[in-house]
Structure 1
Amino acid sequence: MTKTLEAAMSAAVPEAAAFRDAMAEVASAAHLVTTSGPSGRAGMTATAIASVSDAPPTLLACIEAGSRTLAAIEASGFFCVNTLSALDYELAGVFSGRAGISGEARFARGEWITLATGAPVLKSALVSFDCRLVAAHPVATHKVLIGEVVALGGGGAGEGLVYRKRRFGGF
């Protein structure tokens, strides 16, 4: 074993703030995760989204365990991942809570439709993945949601919206 590897293995686990600072260096696509149900529509900005499989089409989304959106997704059993274009920069801020707007009021901006599940689909999204929730796994402070994609939407144009260094930008 090399000395560098030994040093890395014996190093202390990074503190939360140092980890968040390190993750701020990672560029990630910006998405709106949305759902609807008895309590109305809910949604949030998310970057922790990834494909899982294409047979069947499946993706994952990581959402903070105390999130109102997570509770609504678990209650409804479905969600939509809307991948944002740089033109939807303002919506990313609205759904992240930075604009001080919450709940149903967030949906006053943008044009919304539904597909198979009834989750809100942003018409200007580059792509939208309409999902049926198939699993929710608690991991530390979050839940990892597994969604089977039952319909695709979107069709917006332009560059993708990316989150890096704690800000949104087009790339």
Structure 2
Amino acid sequence: MIEAIDFRNAMSLLATAVNIITTKGVSGVHGFTASAVCSVTDTPPTLLVCMNQAARSHDYFIQNKILSVNVLGAQHEAISNAFASKLNSEERFEYGSWTELATGAPILEEALVSFDCEIEDIQQVGTHSVFMCRVVAIKHAEPQDATDEGLIYFNRNYHQVGQVEIV
């Protein structure tokens, strides 16, 4: 049997993009930092987002049934840290500039790209909920907000990677 700590240590060596996941609706506005995000299919455009069921905002995401995935650039470490901290929701959203697309979930204006989604299905797997999210709108960074590098998390540290070319 694989111990949880051994699995976490192994997964720390899987480089992942850093994202801010947000929601807004009847339960209010909430957000958290996540690396467990991936594409499922492009027809229809669908993302998978994993969230710990013990997270204080978990039930709010389920109630609101919408979320946005905001992919962070190299300049967004402070925003990532704020959304991973014990700050309350209001304090977290003081970091960055926010707007909305189709669903009303907060979109980070200077994110590399933001995916505005409706949560279509939720699966409980161990300690986490897996949200299957249909993408209803996409916003790319404006050229003046574009960065040359993305923010990734690898070996329990932030790193910068690549050059983003905005077309």
TM-score of the aligned structures, taking structure 1 as reference length: 0.88
Structure 1 residue runs without a partner (length 5+) = 1-12
CA distance, structure 2, for counterparts of residue 79 and residue 136 of structure 1: 13
Tell me which stretches of 4 or more aligned residues in structure 1 moved more than 3 Å: none
Q: Report the residue type matching 2:63 in the other structure.
A: A
The SS at the match of 2:57 is helix
Matching of residue 157 in structure 1 with residue 143 in structure 2: no
1:35–1:69 contact (8 Å) kept in structure 2: no
CA distance, structure 2, for counterparts of residue 111 and residue 154 of structure 1: 15
Partner residue in 1 for 2:73: 85
Root-mean-square deviation (CA, aligned residues, Å) is 1.1
The SS at the match of 1:34 is strand
Residue in structure 2 matching 1:53, options 41, 49, 65:
41
Residue in structure 2 matching 1:44, options 17, 32, 39:
32
CA distance, structure 2, for counterparts of residue 110 and residue 154 of structure 1: 16
Aligned length: 157
CA distance, structure 2, for counterparts of residue 41 and residue 29 of structure 1: 23
CA distance, structure 2, for counterparts of residue 119 and residue 85 of structure 1: 19
Q: % of aligned pairs identical?
A: 41
Cα deviation code 1:58-87 (max 9, x no counterpart): 010010012233211110110000000001
State how 1:15-164 maps to structure 2 within 5 Å: 15-97=3-85, 100-155=86-141, 156-158=145-147, 159-164=149-154
Structure 2 residue runs without a partner (length 5+) = 162-167
Instruction: Name which one, 1 or 2, has greater alpha-carbon Rg.
Output: 1
Cα deviation code 1:29-77 (max 9, x no counterpart): 0000000123321000000101011111101001001223321111011
The SS at the match of 2:40 is strand
The SS at the match of 2:93 is helix
Cα deviation code 1:126-148 (max 9, x no counterpart): 00000001000000100110000
Q: Compare the two structures and name the one with the higher helix fraction.
A: 1
TM-score of the aligned structures, taking structure 2 as reference length: 0.90
CA distance, structure 2, for counterparts of residue 25 and residue 165 of structure 1: 5
Q: Report the residue type matching 1:157 in the other structure.
A: A
1:129–1:151 contact (8 Å) kept in structure 2: yes
CA distance, structure 2, for counterparts of residue 79 and residue 68 of structure 1: 16
How far the C-alpha of 1:112 sits from its partner, in A, is 0.1
